[in-house]
Amino acid sequence: MEVILSRQIIATPNAPAAIGTYSQAVLAGSTLYISGQIPLNPETGALIEGSFEARVEQVFHNLAAIAEAANFALADAVKVTVFLTDLGRFGELNSVMARHFPEPWPARAAVQVAALPRGTDVEVDAILVKR
């Protein structure tokens, strides 16, 4: 038996527009795949300046805005992937993440990378499933 999932592109002005050949998110059946978000201000398209914490907050605000556009919430996250240019900031990231994701926590991977788009130091993508 073949199962065919619907596929819907999700886009919202409340999160940064895609800066490449990708969509902000794709909804397939009851699963939402959110593309990696960096700390861009959705109104100006500029990187958030200031502390690492402020940048991570913006990343999670961007993820939440895209989730909301698809009638999801960050509480629906089942998998999060974090990309950092310095894993030494992992503890700071955890503190901010704990404010945005309720327990039970989603599965997560965190990797250190040499560089990220626009020269930022953090990017996060997420997979959400409607409960």
What is the reported pLDDT for 40? 97
Instruction: Report pLDDT digits (tens) over 100-129.
Output: 999 999 999 999 999 999 999 999 999 999
Q: How far is CA 51 from CA 30, 70, 102, in A?
A: 35, 30, 24
Largest CA distance in the chain: 53
| 107, β-bridge pairs | 79
Tell me the domains of the chain and their CATH numbers. Answer: 7-129 (3.30.1330.40)
**pLDDT-derived band at 20, boundaries 50, 70, 90:** confident
pTM of the model: 0.95
Mean pLDDT in residue range 25-40: 97
With a cut of 90, say whether residue 19 has pLDDT above it. no
